[in-house]
Amino acid sequence: MEERLHKILAQWGIASRRHAEKMILDGRVRLNGTVAQLGQKADTQRDRIEVDGVIIQPTQRPQHLYLLLNKPVGVVSTCDDPWQRSTVLDLLPEALQQGQGLHPVGRLDFDSTGALLLTNDGELTFLLTHPRHQIPKTYNVWVQGRPSEAVLQQWRRGVMLSNRKTSPAQVRVLDRQMGKTLLEIVLHEGRNRQIRRVAEQLGHPVLELHRVAIGPIQLEQLPPGQYRTLTDYEINFLQTETISPKQGTGP
């Protein structure tokens, strides 16, 4: 049965669908000895697929891994970086950095910290990052100044970003100190730098941003730069969410 190459690579745990597409565009994938083209299809029972000169065998694909990482500041949420900055894979043991197909699910900004999922289950990554899947993500965010209740209500209702209103969010004050406020923010969408852009627009720029949970998957006391394996309950939650996504747009 023929399927698109980038989907095959994701199913085998080589990379996420998005990263697999980039690998194909970069000329790193060959199909039957010829440099593959984006959109090409292949039959795993008949065709020879190579990645970086290594023939890929479906029977050799690694066991699925599901990890939670506490991303520190100054690390990029990618598998490789053209500017040679540290990536989230650099935080893993050497045995997990190569040959396992691990990649981040979604992103955290360079200056942001906290909960980030890593997996080699490319199909799950594709489904979790699809806009229709709205798993709530919880953040602790220090912002400049003291947002008024009117500002917080505006944030909760939604703010126009790039000609489109953000989905409703949960926003509550956890602490106030001299010149800054700690907010707990729960989002059901993940637009690019959303919290930072909204905070800036409302006049209270972000000072620190830390993601503490993805759905019921809690960071808790996991130290910065460390990771743990997801529990069976947490894995089941992710798989269930992708099968039967919730239809709401937020609380």
Q: Which residues are catalytic?
A: 109
DSSP 30-51: EETTEE--TT-EEETTT--EEE
- Contact between 10 and 4 under an 8 Å Cβ cutoff? The reply is no
Nearest-angstrom CA–CA distance, 159 and 165: 5
User: For tokens 């970003």, what's the residue?
Assistant: 161
- 90: phi then psi, degrees, rounded to nearest 5: -65, -15
Helix count and strand count (H, E) for the chain = 7, 17
Pick from 79, 61, 72, 60: which is nearest to 118 by CA?
79
Pick from 155, 171, 89, 122: which is nearest to 6 by CA?
122
- Contact between 161 and 197 under an 8 Å Cβ cutoff? The reply is yes
- Contact between 138 and 212 under an 8 Å Cβ cutoff? The reply is yes
Pick from 18, 184, 205, 19: which is nearest to 114 by CA?
184
Pick from 141, 103, 129: which is nearest to 189 by CA?
129
Tokens of 164: 């489109």
